[in-house]
Amino acid sequence: MSLRNIGTVYRKELRDSLRERRTLISMIAVPILLMPALTVGMGYLAFRLISEARREPSRLMVLGGQDSPVVMARLRALKMVRLVPSSPDYADQISDKKIRMAVEIPPGFDAALERGEPTDVKLYTYEGDVKSAIATERVRSFFRELREQTVNARLATRKLPESMLQPFKVSEINVASPEKVWGSIFGGVATYMVILLCLTGAMYPAMDLTAGEKERGTMETILCSPVSRTHLVLGKFLTVLTVSVATAALSIASMALTVFLAQNLTSGLDPHSPSIVRVTMNPKAVVAVFVMVLPVAVLFSAGLLAIALFAKSFREAQTYISPLTIVVVMLAVVAVLPGIELNARLALLPIVNTSLVSKEIVTGTYHWNYIATIFVSSCVYAALALAVAVKLFQREDVLFRA
């Protein structure tokens, strides 16, 4: 094997690829801008929308309650709640977001409370709607407070202590550090984005160096050069890998920079505030995530070269690669799903294993046995993909498919 020939092909293809605007956008602009936009921008937007929803009075419809003036008067006195006239189409109004929820007061509610009889209040809501959830929490807090006041009054009448209803308390204490809690949330999204950007970074140069050359008619010219096909495909592979690795490196650097900026922006807030960012990205975690992503970049580069080699045009290559993108998204998003933890079986599943172990690394947890297993298995998958790409480049029916 001639490293000189491979290096010549590599330099030539890399120079041509860097002249492509699409390659530069996918390799540099997207990873640098996308990570801050998604983490800081989307987080800030969500915070603003929820804050505005909490400042908006909730439109509430009360069904019944004509014979219960006490509870109705207390409902009308509620802050941030605006009562609207009752209507039989309350369910449609909630679904159409004309009102946020409805409360059904049973007949004789006030009298039932006075007599100590059980009664039932129904809340009609729009599950999944943020403003409906806020309205429901406001009304639920109102009835919870009313229930506690009623119980305390009954106990006082009978001269019984409040501890009669609470013989013991259950305390819930979080032993995980705030960094691990935030890292578990942020790490899943961040590693998902790194893997996805690693794929998109390799996508355009892989298609351009195979299907693009067929479409331009330069494939025959490069095959006539005094360089073996193995050296040609390895040179092309290194070009695609360089772009993919550069995209991954920039996305990881952007992720670390985003965390650093978010920490500086929230450094003046109350340390106990739920909005403060407690994620830490030390150099060890950055390097570890980058090392774990390297075999995945090799797998993507070789796999995309092999798939795009079957296409006769750039557009046809995009059609072939689209299903692969969907598969990668489905596998990489596993780290974002709740309840899925790294185990021996998932450690052998490509892409999923890297996504899960990178999430653990961001939280500061290093399972060295899983890390070694995942790195070795990912290298094996990457080597197999590269061997397939080299083999396909030797076949005339693939290179010159009619």
Six-digit token string for 263: 């920490």
- Please tell me the predicted confidence (pLDDT) of residue 90: 92
Q: 62: which strand partners?
A: 103
Length of the chain: 402
Spatial separation of the C-alpha atoms in residues 146 and 152, rounded to whole Å: 10
Instruction: Give the strand pairing for 58-64 and 101-105.
Output: parallel
pLDDT above 70 covers what percent of the chain?
A: 86
**Pick from 65-69, 121-125, 225-229, 388-392: least confident:** 225-229
Spatial separation of the C-alpha atoms in residues 219 and 237, rounded to whole Å: 15
Six-digit token string for 131: 């403003």
32-44 in b/e form (b: 16+ CB < 10 A) is: bebbbeebbeeee
- In three-state secondary structure terms, 81 is strand
Closest C-alpha to 184, from 350, 342, 370, 46? 342
- Please tell me the predicted confidence (pLDDT) of residue 401: 59
Q: 63: which strand partners?
A: 104
Sheet holding 58-64, edge to edge: 81-84, 58-64, 101-105, 122-124
- Please tell me the predicted confidence (pLDDT) of residue 398: 67
Q: Which tens digits make up the pLDDT trace of 292-314?
A: 988 999 999 998 988 888 888 88
The band of 139, judged by pLDDT with boundaries at 50, 70 and 90, is very high
Pick 133 or 220 by higher pLDDT: 133
φ, ψ for residue 267 (rounded to 5)? -65, -25
Run of H or E including 102:
strand 101-105
Find the DSSP H helices in 338-367.
Answer: 352-362
Spatial separation of the C-alpha atoms in residues 90 and 83, rounded to whole Å: 13
Q: Is the pTM of this model over 0.85?
A: no
- Average of pLDDT values for 97-120? 90
The band of 128, judged by pLDDT with boundaries at 50, 70 and 90, is confident
Find the DSSP H helices in 97-168.
Answer: 109-115, 130-157
Spatial separation of the C-alpha atoms in residues 92 and 87, rounded to whole Å: 10
Instruction: Give the strand pairing for 101-105 and 122-124.
Output: antiparallel
Spatial separation of the C-alpha atoms in residues 262 and 182, rounded to whole Å: 13
φ, ψ for residue 239 (rounded to 5)? -65, -50
**Pick from 4-8, 162-166, 214-218, 383-387: least confident:** 162-166
- Please tell me the predicted confidence (pLDDT) of residue 270: 46
Run of H or E including 63:
strand 58-64
Pick 58 or 22 by higher pLDDT: 58
The band of 376, judged by pLDDT with boundaries at 50, 70 and 90, is very high
φ, ψ for residue 86 (rounded to 5)? -70, 150
By the 8 A CB rule, do 362 and 186 touch? yes
**Pick from 5-9, 127-131, 291-295, 351-355: least confident:** 5-9
The band of 399, judged by pLDDT with boundaries at 50, 70 and 90, is low
- Average of pLDDT values for 219-225? 73
Tell me the fold of 53-164. Answer: abc type-2 transporter like fold (3.40.1710)
255-284 in b/e form (b: 16+ CB < 10 A) is: bbebbeebeeeeeeeeeeeeebbbbbbeee
Q: Which tens digits make up the pLDDT trace of 52-104?
A: 888 889 999 999 989 999 999 999 998 889 999 999 999 999 999 999 999 99
Q: How many CB atoms lie within 10 A of CB 332?
A: 25
Spatial separation of the C-alpha atoms in residues 170 and 115, rounded to whole Å: 31
- Please tell me the predicted confidence (pLDDT) of residue 83: 93
26: pLDDT strictly greater than 60: yes
Q: Is the dihedral angle over the CA atoms 291, 296, 300, 303 positive or is it negative?
A: positive
Q: Which tens digits make up the pLDDT trace of 176-198?
A: 666 666 666 667 777 888 888 88
> Which amino acid appears at position 19 of this protein?
R
CA angle 218, 235, 373 (to 5 degrees): 135
Domain boundaries defined on the chain: 3-43+178-399, 53-164
- Please tell me the predicted confidence (pLDDT) of residue 273: 46
By the 8 A CB rule, do 182 and 279 touch? yes
The overall average pLDDT reported for the chain is 81
